[in-house]
Structure 1
Amino acid sequence: MVSTAFGIVLLRSIIRYPGVEANAYILPSFTISYGCLLIFFILTRLPYSRALLFISFVVTIIWFIVVHALARRRRVMTIGIVPGGDYQTLQAVAGVNWIVLTDATQNLDGLQAVAADLRVDIAPEWDRALADCALAGIPVYHTKHLAESLTGMVELEHLSENSFGTLAPVSAFMTFKHILDWMIAAVVGLVLAPLMILLAIFIRLDSPGPAIFRQMRIGYRGKPFTVYKFRTMVSSPKSVPALDAAKTQTEDKRITRIGSFLRRSRIDELPQILNILRAEMSWIGPRPEAQVLSQWYEGEIPFYRYRHIVRPGLTGWAQVHQGHVAEVEDVKTKLNYDFYYIKTYSPWIDLLIVAKTTQTILNGFGAK
């Protein structure tokens, strides 16, 4: 109880922005509080159960992630917006009651926060009003950062720097994540090998063709590689252009009977464990696109290649929010999600993606 209470106090003290970003502080807050409890037990040599401590830690994390998600859906914040700069962007974000302030001396009763575009010069009276808000304990948010936290997307204005001030994610975490990916893939691959062999047999019996689908895709640092999946579709006629064949449409007629289940449950992705063992993919990251699609997107969308700064994954931030898309306009939105993942690249957002992926598998969201 003491460690949970300390974790709650710590969580409330470090959360700065509402929305997605708030989730990122749940794991580190309770890791610190339970870590302090563990150190206390070690130093005092009091008897304790490691299993009970670990189970309590995991249950607490899951509980607060679920509670925060439910509270976020039900709670409607009222936020005042200081006119000036790119403040109209916020008004398009749903789930918040936005009030554009008309005067620096306006009564702020009923507002949970105030947002302003801090990149532009605003009138001195607004500077004083924002300072008074901070002194009164009313949070003052930067419009761009607030929009990113509420939507989980980074707009395609320019190549945004990440939280550490560079375009490349932290290499130390990338290395640790790669090692952890390989270890998990080795264990999961051995455990699921019998199931995958059985699935391969069912696929061959269900429709003509190989059990494993191979496709050239663009991966880490823009290098092409062969991705492996369970085949869920029949081959397209040779007369169909390569670009059209690479796209999966809604209720695509090429999807086989067993393929529909495999795609909905995401089981068709399991052979990519081999790609992880070959250091071509990660469990979590932007989904790799077919080479022909990637070349098309690069010609249509600025900064598209930047998504290759991290290893592609079996699941990702865009995947759990948007599902499968192929058209350029939809891919632009997908890229906003990918950029947000890269900007906030950390163990905390990976944990959030794992939780959302579990929900996605259960409801079949985004499958085509």
Structure 2
Amino acid sequence: MTKINSVSRSNEVVRARGSETMRRASRMMGWALLGLFLLGLAILAVEPLRQTGIVTVLFTRTLIWSGVAYLCAFALMLRSLHLPAVEGSSLVGLSVTLAFVILLAGFAILRVEYSRVALVISYFATLIWTWYGYRLFVRNYVPVFGYSDEATLAQLEKILNMPGAAPPSASRFEHIRSLFEATRCDALMVDRNATADPERTRLLSQLKLSHVRMYSVERIGEMLTGRVGLAHIDENFLDDYAKHYFYGFFKRLLDIVAVIVLSPLALPLSVLVGLAVRLESKGPAIFRQTRVGVFGRAFVMLKFRSMTTDDDAPAQFAKRQDPRVTRVGRVIRKYRLDEIPQLWNVLKGDMSLIGPRPEQVPMVEQFSQSIPYYPYRHLVRPGLSGWAQVQQGYVGTHEETVTKLSYDLFYVKHCSFALDFLIALKTLRTLLTGYGAR
């Protein structure tokens, strides 16, 4: 790399340009504060209406409490900025809805009276304001990443162009001839495995102190695709996983509560599906198969049978227009009704509502030998739906399985309630449209 001259003379320029790399968090925070200021003005404007009796004191009080939900929505958004920008619309709707649901639950638990009209107005105002801010500062902004050698860009292209993957977020890449030129970019893309030398380390540290953000190739790949670059996984991956201990405890509690809440709907629906399966073809309505769960432990997974019975069939990928699938099976697979019995697996603790889909034992043994780091997907409980399912759907080749693993390991690395709720939202789309079924 070309040596940087006169760095000290250009410090102010570097800081001004480099600070642009903080735009997602800082500008969204500024937008949130502006909205909070406008909410305060709205509350002051409503006060004369309250004095004249047009609105009640509950209306004003609800607007004030809605400010708490508003801040919670933006906090959830900021915690989710590591996800690809193309997920913005779903994240906005999820963050705002979840914040107001929590507020509504708080009203119910504490028996606080509130104005329904004020709450509805606040909800839609927050939804529109948050969506416009995200669209303005994050979703429609095309970041520019600088790189200093073609090999670095080639590494990134391998991550972006994996078979069967969803399209990445929009971005531009600029070749730089010196590290100083990185100040014109939103971030500098570096190869952390490159041979280090004192000069390179010194220049990188100077730019870092001048607020130029630097990302590894794999980190930029994650931001643009929602997938992990498998060629760059190292021991740091396990450090990231270790941060999710308390999250896993509370997620288990939510799984149990969710199954109990869904039972009144799931039980009668199970009777209807089971009856339809038995009437169409001979064999049991419930299909049992050994799958691999958390920490590699085997368990018996339950499903409604969607295929003809063949005990001698080897483990294999599901195919498009698979002849083994029955007519009823095509319907229940399309809308994921065959997965209803797995609520029992969730209640037992074999599975979770959200997580990597469990695979058959022979396939796990095969992939563990042919795909590096495949067992890492078993660091969390498998789920009824997962990040790979809503992004990619079913896979049918070994190459697509590698891509699926990159999605699964992204979930293992970044699992959070925000990501879980996003997956749940996209799963509802699958239930309504049948996307990805085979």
Instruction: Name the TM tier (shorter chain).
Output: 0.7 to 0.9
**Residues 1:54 and 1:273: Cα distance change in structure 2 (over 3 Å):** farther
What are the superposed Cα offsets for residues 104-152 of structure 1, whole Å, 9 maximum, x if unpaired? 454865x4443233554378479647845874x6644333212112111
Q: 2:327 aligns with which of 254, 257, 278?
A: 257
2:301 aligns to what SS in structure 1?
strand
Task: Indicate the residue corresponding to 1:96 in structure 2.
Answer: 171
Q: 2:250 aligns with which of 176, 181, 205?
A: 176
Question: TM-score, with normalisation over the residues of structure 1?
Answer: 0.79
**d(CA) in 2 for partners of 1:233, 1:33:** 42
Task: Indicate the residue corresponding to 1:19 in structure 2.
Answer: 84
**Residues 1:282 and 1:362: Cα distance change in structure 2 (over 3 Å):** same
1:287 partnered with 2:375: no
1:28-177 alignment runs, 5 A limit: 48-49=114-115, 53=119, 56=122, 60=126, 75-83=141-149, 86-92=152-158, 93=160, 94=168, 95-106=170-181, 109=184, 111-118=185-192, 120=194, 121=196, 124=199, 128=203, 131-132=206-207, 135=210, 139-157=213-231, 158-162=233-237, 165=239, 167-168=241-242, 170-177=244-251
Task: Indicate the residue corresponding to 1:366 in structure 2.
Answer: 436
1:236 partnered with 2:310: yes
- Letter of the structure 2 residue corresponding to residue 98 of structure 1: F
1:312 partnered with 2:382: yes
| Paired-residue identity, % | 32
2:372 aligns to what SS in structure 1?
coil
Are the aligned partners of 1:20 and 1:152 in contact in 2 as well (CA < 8 Å)?
no
| CA deviation after TM superposition for structure 1 residue 344, in Å | 0.7
**d(CA) in 2 for partners of 1:122, 1:55:** 58
1:80 aligns to what SS in structure 2?
strand
Q: Which is higher, the Rg of structure 1 or of structure 2?
A: 2
- Letter of the structure 2 residue corresponding to residue 190 of structure 1: P
**Residues 1:34 and 1:253: Cα distance change in structure 2 (over 3 Å):** closer
Question: TM-score, with normalisation over the residues of structure 2?
Answer: 0.67
| CA deviation after TM superposition for structure 1 residue 76, in Å | 3.5
2:423 aligns to what SS in structure 1?
helix
**Residues 1:10 and 1:189: Cα distance change in structure 2 (over 3 Å):** closer
Are the aligned partners of 2:294 and 2:380 in contact in 1 as well (CA < 8 Å)?
yes
Higher mean C-alpha deviation, range 70-79 or range 210-219: 70-79
What are the superposed Cα offsets for residues 327-361 of structure 1, whole Å, 9 maximum, x if unpaired? 32221111111111011121111111112212233
- Letter of the structure 2 residue corresponding to residue 249 of structure 1: K
| CA deviation after TM superposition for structure 1 residue 185, in Å | 0.6
| CA deviation after TM superposition for structure 1 residue 292, in Å | 2.0
Are the aligned partners of 1:169 and 1:345 in contact in 2 as well (CA < 8 Å)?
no
**d(CA) in 2 for partners of 1:67, 1:283:** 31
| CA deviation after TM superposition for structure 1 residue 305, in Å | 1.8
Task: Indicate the residue corresponding to 1:215 in structure 2.
Answer: 289
| CA deviation after TM superposition for structure 1 residue 254, in Å | 1.0
**d(CA) in 1 for partners of 2:303, 2:126:** 36
**Residues 1:11 and 1:354: Cα distance change in structure 2 (over 3 Å):** closer
What are the superposed Cα offsets for residues 180-200 of structure 1, whole Å, 9 maximum, x if unpaired? 101111221233211210111
| CA deviation after TM superposition for structure 1 residue 299, in Å | 2.3
**d(CA) in 2 for partners of 1:299, 1:348:** 33
What are the superposed Cα offsets for residues 155-201 of structure 1, whole Å, 9 maximum, x if unpaired? 22335535x83544522211111111011112212332112101111
1:321 partnered with 2:422: no
| CA deviation after TM superposition for structure 1 residue 263, in Å | 0.9
**d(CA) in 2 for partners of 1:155, 1:254:** 35
* Aligned residue-pair number: 355
Are the aligned partners of 1:80 and 1:113 in contact in 2 as well (CA < 8 Å)?
yes
Higher mean C-alpha deviation, range 113-122 or range 291-300: 113-122
**Residues 1:221 and 1:7: Cα distance change in structure 2 (over 3 Å):** closer
1:349 partnered with 2:415: no
Are the aligned partners of 1:233 and 1:254 in contact in 2 as well (CA < 8 Å)?
yes
Unaligned runs of 5+ in 2: 1-34, 37-66, 161-167
